[in-house]
C-alpha cells in the first residue's frame, strides 16, 4: 500500500471531500486508512462501559477506503500520486509523482538490484 502512518492526505471523494489530516492507522487487509479529524461519527455508549463509565456519546474517527484519499506533495502542497523507484544502490523508495520528491525508503539495498 502506498499510504503509510504519519502521511498527510486529502480526502478526494465523499462527505469529507477536501479535508486534510494525518494518517493515524492503516489496515492493509481491508484497504482502509484512519485519518485524524476526518470521518468523525458519534457512537452512543451505555453507562458502565470501560471507555466511558458515565455513558453518553463518543466521537470516533472511522476508517476510509484508501482509494478515496490522495497523498499531499510536500513540495507543492497539492494532492499527488505515489510512485516507487529503485535507487542506484539497489534500495527502493516512494516518491511523489507531481514533483519527484522522495517520500522515504521502502526497503534497504539488495545486491541483486544494485547497478554496476
pLDDT digits (tens, 9 = 90+) for 6-47: 999 999 999 999 999 999 999 999 999 999 999 999 989 888
Q: Are residues 61 and 101 in the same domain?
A: no
* Segments forming the whole domain that contains residue 34: 1-72
| 19 and 53 fall within a common domain | yes
82 in the same domain as 62: no
Residues 89, 39: one domain? no
Give all strands of the β-sheet with 82-86 in edge-to-edge order: 82-86, 92-96, 102-107
Q: Per 3-state DSSP, what percentage of the chain is helix, strand, and coil (rounded to 5)? A: 5, 45, 55
Q: What's 67's domain CATH number? A: 2.30.30.30
51 lies in the same domain as 12: yes
Number of domains making up the chain: 2
Claim to verify: residue 39 and residue 12 sit in the same structural domain: yes
pLDDT at position 116: 53
Amino acid at each position: 500500500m502506498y499510504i503509510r502512518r504519519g502521511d498527510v492526505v486529502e480526502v478526494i471523494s465523499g462527505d469529507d471531500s477536501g479535508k486534510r489530516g494525518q494518517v493515524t492507522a492503516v489496515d492493509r487487509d481491508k484497504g482502509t486508512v484512519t485519518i485524524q479529524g476526518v470521518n468523525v461519527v458519534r457512537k452512543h455508549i451505555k453507562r458502565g462501559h470501560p471507555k466511558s463509565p458515565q455513558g453518553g456519546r463518543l466521537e470516533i474517527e472511522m476508517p476510509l477506503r484508501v482509494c478515496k484519499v490522495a497523498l499531499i506533495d510536500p513540495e507543492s502542497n497539492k494532492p499527488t500520486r505515489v510512485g516507487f523507484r529503485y535507487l542506484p544502490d539497489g534500495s527502493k523508495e516512494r516518491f511523489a509523482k507531481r514533483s519527484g520528491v522522495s517520500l522515504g525508503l521502502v526497503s534497504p539495498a539488495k545486491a541483486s538490484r544494485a547497478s554496476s
